């Protein structure tokens, strides 16, 4: 077995036993990047020298869960002294003077930052085609998209260009690419993990989470990065359980909700078949499927694209060419603002800023933004009602497998509907995971989404691990 294909727990065991060193593991991953990165294009920045220096110091440091483990970080999390671009021209040369809380927690455990991964610009997109630094490709079929916006992180994990990665999820941006790349993606409860140092897209929806090769690694990373943070007022003051403690527990008697609104017309037949077989597999382990209804699901996409764009319009106002980032000179201040933004932002970011500004403008605020907030409450109540009768909810992660690059770029609405099964989770603030549950006839991965109650990540891990251990899907690798 190649060293780069190890999981976090396998690498940890090998390092602890003295079979390999962090330096050997890091070199193996860097060699793998050298061999496949030109094909996959998962990274914006590869931090080779930094990684090798970290590997040397990890040799003698404390042996924590992730010490000496090469991990990739999505390029919208600030890394002190290392370029953080958000895949945007406007931040092309931005080097943060501080560390995000999540990367700081990893740093304290002596992790190895192997590189910063590509994303849709400012995390706005579902295909990683909106990056100022080129498209990331799906390792299973390089003519197809890896999903977005954490497409670089998911593709890097899938292609063994890192042992694990960190992504962010505003409307499905961890789970969707994880599903389309055949890996595990976890979106925690809103507030479980500090967002300090995550470049904001939509502050009431953004959440950071792990993308890994299996469920155990996801739980390991969650243990490291979770917890309250005085720098983030939205992070919850709750104790962090040991998420690995529930792995392997029996799921007999667990009630699994199957929402009828998630098995819809237009859904790919092979995706539907794979997900239904996964539900049967959970049933064979003693779980009880229960049909439920989440009646406001149909309004989720419209609600999300009003709220997320409104928050984006407000958050992105800071990129004006004055304080930091890219600048284009102008005849006066207003001219400079306009030229800087016209050249610094890509088409999708401009589209969303315009949509959000319109929704917040006087005369439209009540009709759009306020109405969307009211519908968001109804969506949240749907989940609360469902969780009175079930322990977890199971759905497809994506309505289709990975589509061809360029297939939906001319039709934003079609692209937005890619997130139809993931968006409600962010609107309600509940946690969700995507685990591999099959492949199509064209050998494209299919993802199963398991959703849990607020701050009940353990039930998700319990169900996801039971399913994973009973199947072989997570062991399949793309041929690169």
Catalytic residues: 74, 149, 173
Which residues are 82's β-sheet partners? 79
Contacting residues for 135 by C-beta, under 8 A, at least 6 apart: 41, 128, 129, 145, 405
Q: Check residue 207 and report its DSSP letter.
A: E
Query: Cis omega (within 30 of 0) on the bond before 56?
Result: no
Q: Checking DSSP bridges between strand 43-46 and strand 112-117, what pairing results, if any?
A: antiparallel
Please, what is the end-to-end C-alpha distance for the chain in angstroms?
16
Q: How far, CA to CA in Å, does 168 sit from each of 243, 320, 399?
A: 19, 24, 21
Instruction: Provide the greatest CA pair distance for the chain.
Output: 70
CA–chain centroid gap for 145, Å, is: 15
Q: At what angle do helices 215-225 and 457-469 cross, to 10 degrees?
A: 160
- What are the backbone angles phi and psi of residue 476, rounded to the nearest 5°? -75, 140
Distance CA 14, CA 141 (A): 32
Using H for helix, E for strand and C for coil, what is the string for 346-386? CHHHHHHHHHHHHHHCCCCCHHHHHHHHHHHHHHHHHHHHH
Taken in order 346, 400, 136, 220, the sign of the CA dihedral is positive
Distance CA 344, CA 353 (A): 13
- CA within 13 Å, CB half, 185: 40
- Three-state secondary structure call for residue 70: strand
Q: Which of 82, 85, 78, 83 is nearest to 104 (CA)?
A: 78
Distance CA 128, CA 136 (A): 6
Q: At what angle do helices 22-40 and 8-16 cross, to 10 degrees?
A: 150
Distance CA 464, CA 450 (A): 7
Q: Check residue 220 and report its DSSP letter.
A: H
């Amino acid at each position: 077995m190649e060293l780069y294909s190890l999981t976090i727990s396998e690498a940890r065991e090998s390092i602890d036993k003295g079979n390999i060193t962090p330096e050997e593991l890091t070199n193996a991953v860097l060699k793998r990047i050298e061999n496949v990165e030109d094909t996959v294009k998962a990274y914006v920045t590869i931090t080779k020298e930094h990684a090798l220096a970290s590997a040397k110091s990890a040799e003698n440091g404390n042996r924590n869960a992730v010490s000496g483990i090469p991990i990739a970080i999505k390029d919208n999390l600030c890394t002190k002294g290392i370029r953080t671009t958000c895949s945007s021209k406007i931040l092309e040369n931005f080097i943060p003077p501080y560390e995000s809380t999540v990367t700081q927690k990893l740093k304290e455990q002596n992790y190895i930052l192997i590189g910063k991964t590509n994303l849709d610009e400012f995390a706005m997109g579902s295909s990683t085609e909106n990056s100022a630094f080129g498209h990331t490709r799906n390792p299973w079929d390089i003519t197809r998209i890896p999903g977005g916006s954490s497409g670089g992180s998911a593709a890097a994990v899938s292609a063994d260009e890192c042992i694990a990665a960190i992504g962010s999820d505003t409307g499905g941006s961890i789970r969707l690419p994880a599903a389309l790349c055949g890996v595990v993606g976890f979106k925690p409860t809103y507030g479980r993990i500090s967002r300090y140092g995550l470049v904001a897209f939509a502050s009431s929806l953004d959440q950071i989470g792990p993308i890994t090769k299996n469920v155990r690694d996801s739980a390991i990373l969650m243990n490291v990065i979770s917890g309250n943070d005085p720098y983030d007022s939205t992070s919850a003051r709750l104790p962090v359980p040991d998420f690995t403690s529930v792995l392997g527990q029996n799921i007999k008697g667990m009630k699994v909700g199957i929402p009828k609104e998630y098995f819809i017309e237009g859904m790919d037949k092979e995706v539907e078949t794979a997900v239904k077989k996964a539900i049967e597999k959970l049933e064979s382990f003693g779980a009880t499927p229960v049909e439920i209804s989440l009646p406001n699901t149909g309004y989720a996409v419209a609600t999300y694209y009003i709220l997320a764009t409104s928050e984006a319009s407000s958050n992105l106002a800071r990129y004006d060419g004055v304080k930091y980032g890219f600048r284009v000179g102008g005849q006066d201040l207003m001219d400079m603002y306009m030229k800087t933004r016209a050249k610094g932002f890509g088409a999708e970011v401009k589209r969303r800023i315009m949509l959000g500004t319109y929704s917040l403008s006087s005369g439209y605020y009540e009709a759009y933004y306020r109405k969307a907030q009211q519908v968001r409450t109804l969506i949240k109540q749907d989940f609360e009602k469902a969780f009175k009768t079930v322990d977890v909810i199971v759905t497809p992660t994506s309505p289709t497998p990975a589509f061809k690059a360029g297939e939906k770029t001319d039709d934003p609405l079609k692209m937005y509907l890619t997130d139809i099964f993931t968006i409600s989770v962010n609107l309600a603030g509940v946690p969700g995971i995507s685990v591999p549950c099959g492949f199509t006839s064209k050998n494209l991965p299919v993802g199963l989404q398991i959703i849990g109650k607020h701050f009940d990540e353990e039930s998700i891990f319990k169900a996801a691990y039971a399913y994973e251990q009973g199947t072989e899907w997570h062991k399949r690798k793309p041929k690169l």
